[in-house]
Structure formats: structure tokens, C-alpha cells
Amino acid sequence: MESGMFRRRLGETNHIDGINNSHANGDTEEGSYKAKTFKKYRYPKRFIILVFLVVMIIAANYMGIIGISSKLEYMLKLSDSVIKRRLVTTGAVAADNLECSQIGRDILLRHGSAVDAAIATLLCCHNIHPHSSGIGGSSIIIIYDPKENKTVVINAKAVSPAKGTHEVRMNITAVGPLSIGIPGEIMGYWEAHQRYGKLPWKELFAPSIAMLEKGVGMTKDGVKSAEFVKLRLSERSNETLEDAYPELCEIFCHENGEVRQEGEIIHRLTYLQTLRKIAKYGADYLYSGEGAELLISDLQKQGSILTLDDLKNYQPLIMESLKQQIADGIVLHTTADHSGGILLAFILKTLQGYNITRESFSAANEVKTYHLLTEIFKFSSTIYHSVGDARFTKDMDKTLKTYYSENFIQSVHNFIDPTKTQDAELYNKFVSDSFGQGRDEGTTHVSVLGPDGDAVSITSSINHYYGSLIYSKRTGIILNNAMNSFFVDGLYNLMEPGKIPASGSAPSILFKNGDVVLVIGSSGGDRISSTLAMVVMELFSLNKTLTEAVRAKRYYHDWLTTSLVHESDFPEHIINQLRDNYGHVVIPRRNLISAVQAIYKDPTIGKIIAHSDERKQGKACLVKQTVLPDSIL
């Protein structure tokens, strides 16, 4: 019998079908163009087909091929199948923008792979949300290949340059030229496409190139992020964006330094040329060709320590996924090593021991349950500051496996006091003695489930909003500030040449009895793992629909302030009791905590549901195709 943590009812009533439900996630344009065309002209089509069938029957009768009764029976059967031809959902794309989800859907409808769709979708996301992601950043990808029946991780995260040392890290401010890591985004796409792509590389770029040719409107999130950057610069260093980073402000600001407003069209012509050349020449253009020379020249003029050799030597890591059984029949596949996947595995494994059900969130029990969740989140944030690139730390692999082992989970259960929280230092001593500084804001996630059963979960990041704020004028690329994610103190996550900093990214694929049941991921840095754990809990433990699970109110534990940070509209009575009765420090968050993109496939009936987080104006698309009844085949 499955534990309460992962009992799941059959089907969901609140589904996204893109045609029949105009209120679900706003995905009113999810059906394929072919599907809509079929509906519009179905009667002429049927008439033509019937005439054709009659002609064929007469010809067959004349030639004595089949008997008259068989002919009539077959004709009626085939004509009836045309009338009953129906649309079925065969896949989905979930991104933080409807147009980008549609681009991914169209790639799948052209028989592209899930990897093809993910790349095309993210290139669009980079256009729409340049404050969150871009080809000057990095990504981590988990791919399910149904032919091989295995998952593979492609780690294309930003890497410390050859001159990147701990001494350099001590001089890195949150942004600026020294904060730039070697970008891995395009090389990660290239590696994934070489292995799993179906459509030509250049075709994946065509929709985003067409979009850039017209210009792209400034989004609400883009405006808010730029205003946030201006405020942070003013508060931290008494600088203005236009004075400190004029190249970037030239794109996103007016001449007076004011941020462009929502809907204003931005033309990034230099970036357009760069994208065209990457589409034509492949990743080499940006890593060893003319694009690399232009990029490095621009960056070094602004004080970066990146070199041409750094770009030429960059290679994504091909890794095994972390596999963790978190309930009967449910197996989590996520990213390992220095990513948030370890934290997600830890949280879900720890939750399993509490047998969370709907009763856990009844009026009598809900505050106690939220207290237990908060305590688990405290441990996960402590673990986050105790991991690092296993290639640089002896026995790190063994240490990481310890964090989701039965013995460690049991010791956490024993440590947690169900009646009150404890001093922050006790959690730190329980796990490690390291402290960190970095956190992510500029992140985007895309989830894809293909008609062939392949799946991709990919999280892309430039780290902070607008990354390092460094803009390459001759390539149009906004660079990451990933080196800020190295810690200034501690044991494991210290800056070294060629090292990957710790990351909260946790792209994941969940399986039930061997079949894909959930493709999920989120933006939000060190808040990602707790967010994903809450969605998984809502979905499987509380039998919520995917839409309800993604929309549920969120909070997380912030290690630096040792506080419970919650969305402003989180139920007040719960927050008050957590503070007054359990001793938690609680703080409302003014900015976005996280944004989830998820696809659920019902393991019993095969129904596919997709949902993108409205917190970032996300909208998903389903892949719909016309099929004939099995009886006619």
C-alpha cells in the first residue's frame, strides 16, 4: 500500500485542454493549427473522402476484388472513422511565457524531439525575459530517453575562469566584470542537440530570430527587475544604472536613465546578428570563432578576467541523474552534485516519514504541519551551504549521498522538536560549519514532454536580475554573475579555476512504476527545492490538481536572516501562530519567490496536464494531434 505522502486519485477535473477550457492557465491557443483547420473545414473534407471511397469501392467491385457486403461494411466503417476522428493530447510544453510555449509545441508538432522543443522554447524565453536568462548564462538539463529507458544530466553551468581564485572571489561584488563565469548555455544546447536532436540546429533558432527582427516588448517582470536593480545599486554602492553600466542601460533605459516601460519595443540588433551566426555555424562561433573573439574583447575592456582559452576549453559535464525512491512506486530523477536536486531529494525523503495526508492540513493540524515543513526547510538550507563541486572536494560524493540516506533522515526526525523551533546555530552544527553568500534571482525553467515519450526539464540562469549587468556591445549578450555564488567562507564552495559554484537549480523528472508521471522545475535559486517539494506534496499527498498545486501559497526558510519568508497573501492566521506559538521569525517577501513549470501525466489513464506559474505570467501549451480509432487501423 502506498503511503499517504503519495496516494493519487485517478484523473483530475481541473485540466488544461487548450480548446475546451478557456479558463485553465489561459492556454486558449494550445491546439495545433492543423487541429483548428480540421474543425473549420470538416464537412468538405468528409464529403471528398466519402466520394473517394465510393469511387474506390466501385472500382474494386468492377475488378472483382471484394464482395459487395464487405465493400459496404468497410466503406461505412472508414467513413464513420473520419467523422469520429478526434484530437488527443500527446505532449506538452510549459514555459514562463505563452508565445515561447507555443514555439516549443510547434517544434513537437513538426516531429522534433523534446530536446529540440526545449532549446527553441528557451531561446524565446531569452528574448522575452532577458533579465532572467540568456546565452550569456548557463543551464542544467535532465533528459529522459525512452529508447534507452534512462535519464541523463547535461551540466552546462557557468565555470570559474582559469584566473578565478578564492582571492579573486574576495574582491567580487555582487555584480560587475569579476562576477562573470564562463557561460555554458549554448554549449549545453549543442551537446543536448548532438545527442538527442531531430530537427536541424538552425531551425530551432528561426522563431526567436523572427521575433527579434520585429522587436520585443518590455515585459512587466522586466520593468520590475530593472527597477529593483536600480534600487539595489543605489542602496549598496550609491550608484546609478546609467552611470555604472551605461552599455546595459542603453538597451533598457531611456536617455534620462528611466527604465523603459511595459510594452515598449526593444530592438536588439547586435544580439540578432549573433543569434543568426550561432544558428548558421553552431556553438563553435561563440566558443572558438569570431563571436568568441568579439565577446572576450568586450569583456576584457570592462575588466573581466575571462580569456579566449576559457571559452575554447569549456565543456559541459555529462552526469548520471540522482535517483531517489520517495514513495512506493515513485522515483525522483534529478540533478546531483552541487545542485538543488540533493535538497529536493532530502526534503521529499524526510517528508515521507511524516506520512503527510489531507488530514495533516485540517484546521486542527495545519499549523503543526507547516512547522514541521519549516524545520525540514531549515535543514535543507543548511545542507545547501555544505555542498560543492565533487571534482574538487575529497569524498564529496559520499557526503552528498549521506544527506538523503535513511540514517541521516532518521537523525533529522529525531532532532526536530514538534512543539517549537530551535536556535539556528544548532542546525548548522548538525550539518556543517560553512556559511554562504550567493542567491539566484535571474532564472528561467522549461518543462517538455514529447509525443514519443521523451522528456526534458531544464533550468537556465544568469544568476541575478540582468546577471552581472555587463553587456557586450559587439555581441549583444548580457553576461551572468555566477561567480557570486561561490562563498567567501566555508569548506566546500570556494572559488577555484574550473570549478562550478553551488546552485539551487533542481530540474526533475518523476516516474511511477517506470513511467514518466511528472516533469517539473522552477526558478528561484535557493528557494527552488522547497518550492518543488511543496508542489509535489500538494499533488501526490493532498490529491490536489496540478493547477491547484502550482497555485498554492509558498514560503521558504532564508538562511542568511534565519527567518521564514512567505508570500504576502499567505494565510495570516498560520503565519501568526508559527510566530507566536512555535517561535519562528516571519517576514513577508515583496518580490517573486519562485515560478514553477510542470507537466503531469496520469499514470492510469495517460491524460496529460500542464501548468505554468502565473506568478511570472507563465502559460503552458498542450500538443494535440488528430488520430483515427484503433478499430480502423
Binding-site positions: 461-463, 525
Query: Are the C-beta atoms of 332 and 510 separated by less than 8 Å?
Result: yes
Give me the phi and psi of 597, to 5 degrees please.
-120, 125
Query: Are the C-beta atoms of 505 and 320 separated by less than 8 Å?
Result: no
Query: Are the C-beta atoms of 278 and 455 separated by less than 8 Å?
Result: no
Give me the phi and psi of 509, to 5 degrees please.
-130, 125
> If you search the block for the grid coordinates 496520469, which residue do you land on?
602
SS3 76: helix
Distance CA 161, CA 305 (A): 7
Give per-residue burial for 524-539: e unless 16+ CB within 10 Å, then b.
bbbbbbbbbbbbbbbb
Sequence letter at residue 375: E
For 521, what's the count of Cα atoms within 13 Å in the CB-facing half-sphere? 38
Query: Are the C-beta atoms of 612 and 25 separated by less than 8 Å?
Result: yes
Helices 406-415 and 341-352, packing angle to 10 deg:
70
Instruction: Tell me how far apart the terminal alpha carbons of the chain are, to the nearest angstrom.
Output: 39
Q: CA 340, 343, 344: angle at the middle one, nearest 5?
A: 90
Q: What is the DSSP letter of 300?
A: H
List the grid coordinates of 31. Answer: 491546439
Distance CA 101, CA 343 (A): 28
Give me the phi and psi of 531, to 5 degrees please.
-60, -50
Distances in Å between the alpha carbon of 497 and those of 166, 501, 502, 520?
9, 11, 14, 32
Sequence letter at residue 201: W
Distance CA 591, CA 565 (A): 11
Which residues fall in the annotated binding site for L-glutamate? 461-463, 525
Q: What is the largest CA-CA distance in the chain?
A: 92
Distances in Å between the alpha carbon of 430 and those of 210, 343, 383, 426, 577?
54, 16, 10, 6, 26
List the grid coordinates of 628. Answer: 483515427
Distance CA 189, CA 184 (A): 9
Of 443, 444, 459, 531, the catalytic one is 443
**Bridge partners, residue 343, by sequence:** none
Distances in Å between the alpha carbon of 504 and those of 440, 490, 498?
8, 17, 19
Distance CA 314, CA 343 (A): 27
* CA proximity to 585, closest of 576, 595, 593, 594: 576
Q: Which long-range contacts (CB under 8 A, 24 or more apart) does 251-256 make?
A: 251/471, 252/218, 252/222, 252/226, 252/466, 253/226
**Bridge partners, residue 334, by sequence:** 322, 508
Distance CA 321, CA 508 (A): 9
Catalytic residue check, 382: no
Query: Which residues are identified as catalytic?
Result: 443
